Structure 1
Amino acid sequence: MAYPIVYGIGLSLFDTNLVNRWDFVGLDNYGRLARDSGFLDSIVITFAFAFMVVAGNLVVGTGLALLLNRGLRFTTFFRAVLILPWLFPEVVVALIWKWMYNPVYGLFNHDLQAMGVIDEPVAWLDDPNLALVAVALAAIWKGYPLVMVLVLAGLQTVPKELYEAASLDRAGGFGKFRHVTLPGIRPVLLAVIVLETAWWFKHFTIVWLLTNGGPAGATNVVSIDIYERAFKNFQWGDAAASAVVVLIICLALSAIYQKVLHRDDS
């Protein structure tokens, strides 16, 4: 882990072709990024994408975990089925959703037209106003099982005696969730939020395979911006500096998590 991190930080201080030109430029690459509107836009898009995916994963994953924790019939079967999206490779997930979003023969347009919701096919991945949301939905389908499993594990550690005490105090379902369940799984939720944010903030595969960062840069997340700088424009120093910025952002989020968790434990 140490070598590529140190190498990447060092590379961000040079203007190089990785072969025979190593011109030390110090922090010039970072200064150029700070003035690059395209890079700044990609950071904003990445925050929006990560927020939508993390929020969606929390809602869907936590909701399903609460249902599975109730001990209903066929719980084991549904656990196995609901975790399947996480087991699929990201390339497979992207291709499945790209087929479903297809404006000509896609499943979504067919069903929505059959129900009378839309009158004509929608180009989900070609509309700058819809593309980011469409990509986020695919990412949520891929990512919710991890949240579900972690939250379900957290739910099973909450003492049943607390629910019994809440029942004696005549607390309803919402009251039990607010005063017993939520405090009991708060450390798990905080950990999930930070891990999910770090994962989806630097995500590349699903976004690249669905839209290549388009249309018109609407889904140009920072990982795609780094890829294009490095492997299309051969701006290795700028790409490394961009990656270091992403590392700093993820470390900052981790520090916030540590502070919040420490305060919660105290």
Structure 2
Amino acid sequence: MLPQASDGTGPRRRRGGVQSTRDAIAGRLFTLPVLVVSLVLVAYPILYGIGLSFFDTNLVNRWDFIGLENYARLATDGSFLNSILVTFGFAFLVVAGNLVVGTCLALLLDRGLRYTTVFRVVLVLPWLFPEVVVALIWKWMYNPVYGLFNADLLAAGIIDEPVAWLDDPNLALFAVALAAIWKGYPLVMVLVLAGLQTIPRELYEAASLDRAGRLGKFRHVTLPGLRPVLLAVVVLETAWWFKHFTIVWLLTSGGPAGATSVVSIDIYERAFKNFQWGDAAAAAVVVLVICLALSAIYQKVLHRDDS
């Protein structure tokens, strides 16, 4: 028989090892439901869509494997390439607008003005509205006959005749982006405001001792402190608005003359109007790859700035 430790630490150590093993198993069991739900709701649709992109199918009784033909066809499809360009423009306008508006409002609310709580509640309301409601409100305001924008601009003498905001190919994309910014800025505002609360006030006091002005404090204290938040915001906003569908579809349905035909509308029409399920799945995979690539670029650029 092997001698046991005289201080009694052997059995205690074994009991501790058994307890840690039980805790690890319990932790995995508690996270198992979330993992299963994530696999069912996220991983399976993605994998199914990727697999579908390699077939010419009607989803019922025809499953012809064609490899990369769907992707090759998309690479020479003018309407799809145009929708990608339109989507880049739309996403850039909305993400940039959300960052500017949301960050400016967060900075104002962080100054501790009177009735700050009331302003927070009012300013976050657009995010709580369903996208259908937002689209209908803005469609009414853009109406060239009885819309609010034309009525105010005509009364102020800025325009001489009503403007068809959603029917002009030169204005439609900006009009849709403005509605999307009004819907999306509250999320950026809340996240940036939360990030501002984590910046130590001692840094601002030190900057004041160095005779830094408001611009200097914002550049050397606020922006570095907000960089992780801004990274998360840019990645989330880009992924969200690059694949956005509802507001654009309800306002313009991709018109006029394809000026607002973002890639999500192109995918919808391929799948549910033309029944080109393989092409639609391939287009969705392309969007996924683009979103992942943009996220990687954002992280690399901001990480290089930190270095």
TM-score clears 0.5:
yes
One-letter amino acid of the counterpart of residue 14, structure 1: F
Task: State the match for 2:266 in structure 1.
Answer: 225
Give me the whole-angstrom Cα distance separating, in 2, the residues matched to 1:31 and 1:6: 20
Give me the whole-angstrom Cα distance separating, in 1, the residues matched to 2:211 and 2:43: 55
Aligned counterpart in structure 1 of residue 219 of structure 2, from 172, 178, 191: 178
Aligned counterpart in structure 2 of residue 55 of structure 1, from 79, 96, 99: 96
Q: CA RMSD, aligned part only? A: 0.9
Q: Deviations over 1:143-199 (max 9, x none)?
A: 000000000001111110110011111111111111111111011111111110010
Give me the whole-angstrom Cα distance separating, in 2, the residues matched to 1:147 and 1:213: 26
Aligned counterpart in structure 2 of residue 118 of structure 1, from 152, 156, 159: 159
Give yes or no for the alignment of 1:24 onto 2:65: yes
Higher relative contact order (CA closer than 8 Å, sequence separation 6+): 1
Query: Could you say what secondary structure the match of 1:15 adopts?
Result: strand
Q: Deviations over 1:81-117 (max 9, x none)?
A: 0000000000000000000000000000000000011
Task: State the match for 2:195 in structure 1.
Answer: 154
Task: Name the % identity.
Answer: 87
Task: State the match for 2:240 in structure 1.
Answer: 199
Q: How many residues align?
A: 266
One-letter amino acid of the counterpart of residue 173, structure 1: R
* Shift >3 Å, 4+ stretches: 260-266
Task: State the match for 1:128 in structure 2.
Answer: 169
Give yes or no for the alignment of 1:68 onto 2:116: no
Q: Quick check: 1:49–1:136 contact (8 Å CA) kept in 2?
A: yes
Give me the whole-angstrom Cα distance separating, in 2, the residues matched to 1:141 and 1:162: 33
Could you tell me which runs of 5 or more consecutive residues in structure 2 were left unpaired when the two chains were aligned. Answer: 1-41
1:253 shift after superposition:
1.5
Query: Could you say what secondary structure the match of 1:83 adopts?
Result: helix
Task: State the match for 1:141 in structure 2.
Answer: 182
Give me the whole-angstrom Cα distance separating, in 2, the residues matched to 1:183 and 1:238: 43
Task: State the match for 1:80 in structure 2.
Answer: 121
One-letter amino acid of the counterpart of residue 170, structure 2: N
Q: Output the TM-score relative to the length of structure 2.
A: 0.85
Query: Could you say what secondary structure the match of 2:56 adopts?
Result: strand
Larger Rg: 2
Give me the whole-angstrom Cα distance separating, in 1, the residues matched to 2:169 and 2:180: 18
Q: Quick check: 1:33–1:238 contact (8 Å CA) kept in 2?
A: yes
1:256 shift after superposition:
2.0
One-letter amino acid of the counterpart of residue 45, structure 2: P
Give me the whole-angstrom Cα distance separating, in 1, the residues matched to 2:110 and 2:155: 36
Q: Quick check: 1:191–1:257 contact (8 Å CA) kept in 2?
A: no
Task: State the match for 1:190 in structure 2.
Answer: 231
Query: Could you say what secondary structure the match of 2:169 adopts?
Result: coil
Task: State the match for 1:12 in structure 2.
Answer: 53
C-alpha spacing 1:262/1:175, structure 2 compared with 1 (3 Å): closer
